[in-house]
A and B are shown apart, each in its own frame.
Chain A
Amino acid sequence: MPAIKSLEDLKRIREEALEKRKVKTAEGSVQVTVAMGTCGIAAGARDTMKAILDHIEANNVSGVVVTQTGCIGKCDYEPIVEVSVGAAPKVIYGHINPERARKIMQEHVAGGKVLTDWVIPA
């Protein structure tokens, strides 16, 4: 059974993060929002969210804010993920399973390329 981590570990992590921040300059802010209304959760939004968090963890991605929102009224497109990079207009993706979420993290969040095939038509 793995030992439960302590706040001491957290202290060390915080110091490391502060150290890293000194080196890095501020990046344009990136916000990733997962819609988690009842419809989103039923469609698998939590797994999509977890895939995004796992990607951040595994690839050491800094400066991305991940948040949630409720039902946005497009339940047939759930799970829905919104990505906004810097001042660019927000992009709303539909039917985002964990695999697609990872692709969005790689190509849109990291590479700046909008994956037009998955964007919900306005």
Chain B
Amino acid sequence: MNATKNVPGTAPGIRRLVAAAALTGLFAAPAAGQDIPDRPEELVFPDFLFETPDGGDVHHRLANGVPVVIVEDHTLPLVRLAVSLRIGSFLDPEDQVGLASLTATMMREGGAGDRTPEELDERIEFLAARISVSAQDTEARASLRTITPVFEESLELFFDVLMQPRFDEGRFAVRKENVREDLRQRNDDADNLLAREWDFLLYGRDSYLGRRMTVGHLDAIAKDDLAEFHRRAWRPEHMVWSVSGDVDTAEILAVLEERLGAWPEAPDAFDVPWPPPHDAPAPAPGIYHVEKDIPQGKVRIGNLAPRWDSWDNPERAAIQVMDHILGASGFTSRIMQRVRSDEGLAYGAGGRFGFNPLGPSAYSMGYQSKSSTVALAGAIALEEVRRIRDEPVSPEELDLAKRSLVDSFPRRFESAQARAGIFANDAFLRRDHGYWIRWREQIEAVTADDVMAAARKYLRPEEMVMLVVGVWEDIAPGDPEGRADMTDLLNGEVTHLPGRDPLTLEALSPEGQER
């Protein structure tokens, strides 16, 4: 098929996207009963020349160096504004895990400026604005969503939250008790359990990527700690702003210039290491199991990979093509086809390489299957890992993956909000906008040899760990037809991980190993 080909253009400016896409006149006006082909290959499509927008066009810099991405779109009276900071839970002290996250939560909940928590909530909800503040491992983020008629007042409230949070004692006490309830529940859902134990296993409990808050950490965090963390970490020098919607670029820049210029000094500001140092010893390969009384086994399989420190590395494109073929493209991927379509063993099955420019990358696969076929589905997934390392992918698969990646590329830039998000993320990662200009050419250039080389380098069966949550007694023997049992997978070594007290995460029994 391939009646079309995408040719990255040369003329600048986003507006031309629309012009280039004009279809008028390319279809003959069809009459009912006109011949309809028996196969879709016979359809002829008009060309669609999508020119990758240049992030440089919407990228600005304040006097203090803070990057601001603004994409205007006046079709609806809506405004979205967000600020990302290069801070996060990696800054949490060892005995106060969760401090960055709680600080973010309480910035929103604890009152701000001259408003008590009640007054702040009432005003925000009366204006029908949405303000949210959160902190993840390596990024803190605050965002505002509002309608144009109340943008100005909403922005005032947003800056109060950012700059003058009050961390009200009473609200903090309520939040702590609610967090305690969240902690209490964290063994209930098997998916949560799987995610937590996976992070422990892959990154280690001391790593900022693996560690989790305990009730001890929670009790050790006081109101003053929140205020101190806010003062030392929420600083303009870590910020990247993005704005999209019904705004005027010059007006926004003037407001941000004024507000950020007035940010209070903090002599004790954190000296933030970037990227955050991470030293993750690879986990011992093998199978790990956590007992949970559910009729399925929930599974992850994977291995660590180095930090992704260069976006110029052409392996990026080869890995994406490999991913598409192996496990990341839903029904088109080999793993889904074999595990779900052929065998009916799972509702969802797949795998993906996680590029992490700030810490360790990882390849991970996941699925869930009834207890007796956990081993069989795992054997199939691992067989596919070996196959993509040992055999070149077929020209048809290679072409399908490339066409899919290249032809779906324009959708990434579909809306003002999407474009602002992409280019602000570039600024956050300090990635040059040429990345997107080169993106499709790099995908087009990938060969079957490149895919195999990437698979061999980044998929490492001998280093893989497999984590299973479920009833071991039902899972271990495998399927009744004897096609696979758990000893057939990886090196066959099984470590039974202990159940953990949900509040302290302390083991409730010693770890055991069997062969």
Asked if A pairs with B, the answer is no
